[in-house]
Amino acid sequence: MRYFITGTAGFIGYHLARRLLEEGHEVVGFDGMTAYYNLKLKEARHAALAQFPAFTAHIGMLEDRAALARAATARPDVIVHLAAQAGVRYSLENPKAYLDSNLVGSWNVLELARELGVQHLLLASTSSIYGANPTIPFHETDRADEPLTFYAASKKGMEAMGHSYAHLYRLPTTAFRFFTVYGPWGRPDMALFKFVAAMLEDREIEIYGEGRMSRDFTYIDDLIEAILRLAARPPDEANRVEAPAGIDTLSHQGPYRVVNIGGGQPVGLIDFVETIETVLGRPARRLMLPMQKGDVPRTFASPDLLVALTGYRPATPLQEGVRAFVDWYLDARAYL
């Protein structure tokens, strides 16, 4: 099949594109190569993908609708929209970047999918949408109307736009919500990357919320497996989940569904740090700090809908995933 993926120079987009290429699919990638973090890492990801003859890269911004259209002249079967302005804390400094990329840019992707009549559009959303939800685990059917950051609000807006297009144009659309994805080739602004780099250089690591927070970590290979299984199941009444009752988010107004991708096994931040210490064989110098504005105390995915739809649940042990990241980092830091 032919896939059009936005964000192929990004962490998740790289892994998804590589898996598809290894399986013999054709991938057209689109990325803005923004300077939000180290461009050398983004360029290295695209260079690795360029080793596959079936990969074509296009550089452009999501806000540039004409650039998107030029990149998709070879009509794709599936569009996976991963590109976005990421980062919870950066949204406090530069909210307009989120407006431009996550709302205007996502609308451009919706328009592209409508014009091309793709078989399935998949939209990358986030667990940040749940805000400080007091009910755990987080179910897709929970209210998600109190985002704590503009990043979360922009993703919620993208989901709402996706539903309207699914209804108006019968465009099969799945929005999947990520839960703290980590692994090799990860983003430098994420905790694992920052902690490992600091510990290897004997610098302090900043632990917010005095370490009382917890996160539902998802290893990158688990995430990619879940995305591919969901890609093969466009929302349709024929695959509505009847049992367990009440868990399916398949809309009655159009072919649209929201699905968590998380294992439902949250880990405390201190336990996370101790796992890194074990893998590196050295203690961390810990700087305990209060909760930052926009942070949530915990994330905790219900994987029930994902399991019902695909038979799959992310389950890579944290220590195994952290070790894979450290092995990659030790090899990669020479060019980062």
In the block, residue with structure tokens 């504005």: 293
- Side-chain half-sphere exposure of 121, counting CA atoms within 13 A: 30
Catalytic residue among 151, 165, 182, 329: 151
Based on the residue annotation, tell me whether 37 is a catalytic residue of this protein.
Answer: no
Question: What is the largest distance, in Å, between two alpha-carbon atoms of the chain?
Answer: 56
186 contacts 329 by C-beta, under 8 angstroms: no
Neighbouring C-beta atoms of residue 62, cutoff 10 Å: 26
What angle (nearest 5°) sits at the alpha carbon of residue 32, between those of residues 30 and 36? 135
Measured distance between the N- and C-terminal CA atoms of the chain, rounded to whole angstroms: 33
Paired sense of beta strands 204-207 and 256-261, if any: unpaired
Integer CA distances (angstroms), 278 to 189, 197, 206, 315, 320, in order: 22, 15, 18, 20, 11
Catalytically active residues are: 151
